[in-house]
Structure 1
C-alpha cells in the first residue's frame, strides 16, 4: 500500500467510527438483543471497519509494468 491508500483508508476508518457511534446514539437497540448496536463499543468498531473497507474501494492500485515493455 502506498501513502495515499493508507491516508484514504484511515480517513474512512475515522468517518466510520464517528458514524457507528452516532448510529448507536440515535438509533441503537433498546432491548439489548442486537449484537452490534446494543453496545457503543461494538457499534463504533463495526462502523470503523465498514468505513475503512468502503473508503478503500476508492483507492486505485498502481499499474504493473508489463514484461513486454523491456523487450
Structure 2
C-alpha cells in the first residue's frame, strides 16, 4: 500500500467510526438483544471496519492500472 491508499482507508475508518456511533445513538437496539447495535463500542468498531474496507476497495478500483 502506498501513502495515498493508506490515507483513503484511514478516512474511511474515521467516517465509519462516526457513522457507527451515530447509528447506535439514533437507531440502536434498546432491548439489548441485538449483538452489534446494543453497545456503542460494538457498533462503532463494526462501522469503522466496514466503511474502512469499502474505502479501501474504492481506492483499488480507481488505481491506475499498469500496462
TM-score clears 0.5: yes
**Hey, what does 2:7 align to over in structure 1?**
7
TM-score (norm 1): 0.84
CA distance in 1, matches of 2:65, 2:55: 20
Give the helix-richer structure, 1 or 2: 2
Q: Write out aligned runs for 1:2-41 (5 A).
A: 2-41=2-41
- 2:38 counterpart SS class: coil
* Deviating more after overlay: 11-20 vs 54-63: 54-63
Structure 1 residue runs of 4 or more that deviate by more than 2 Å after TM superposition: 60-65
CA distance in 1, matches of 2:40, 2:56: 24
* Structure 1 portions without partners, runs of 5+: 66-71
TM-score (norm 2): 0.89
